[in-house]
Amino acid sequence: MSMQTQPRIHAQPEDLVPRFLVRIMFGLVACVLMIVVFASVTDRPIQNAPPVAEVIRERAIFLHGDMSGAARVLDANGTLIADLNAEEGGFVAGVQRVIERERGKIKADTSAPVLLQLREGNRLSLFDPVTGWSAELMGFGASNSRVFARLLDQP
User: In what order do the strands lie in the sheet containing 114-119?
Assistant: 80-84, 71-75, 55-65, 114-119, 123-127, 134-136
CA–CA gap between residue 149 and residue 155 (Å, rounded): 12
Report the Cα–Cα distance between both ends of the chain, in Å, rounded: 90
Q: What is the mean pLDDT of the chain?
A: 85
Task: Please give the distance of CA 141 from its chain centroid, rounded to a whole number.
Answer: 13
29 — pLDDT class (breaks 50, 70, 90): very high
9 — pLDDT class (breaks 50, 70, 90): low
Phi, psi (rounded to 5 degrees) for 52? -80, 125
Q: Is 60 exceeded by the pLDDT of residue 115?
A: yes
pLDDT value at position 23?
Answer: 96
pLDDT digits (tens, 9 = 90+) for 62-76: 888 888 888 888 888
The helix or strand, by DSSP H or E, that contains position 71, with its residue range, turns out to be strand 71-75
What would the mean pLDDT of 124-147 be, rounded to a whole number? Answer: 86
pLDDT value at position 27?
Answer: 97
Could you tell me the residue ranges of all domains in the chain?
Answer: 16-46, 55-153
What would the mean pLDDT of 83-95 be, rounded to a whole number? Answer: 84
CA–CA gap between residue 4 and residue 139 (Å, rounded): 58
CA–CA gap between residue 88 and residue 71 (Å, rounded): 8
Highest mean pLDDT among 16-20, 84-88, 148-152: 16-20
For residues 55 and 118, the answer to whether their CB atoms sit within 8 Å is yes
32 — pLDDT class (breaks 50, 70, 90): very high
pLDDT value at position 4?
Answer: 63
CA–CA gap between residue 115 and residue 96 (Å, rounded): 12
Sign of the Cα pseudo-torsion (57, 119, 79, 103, in order): negative
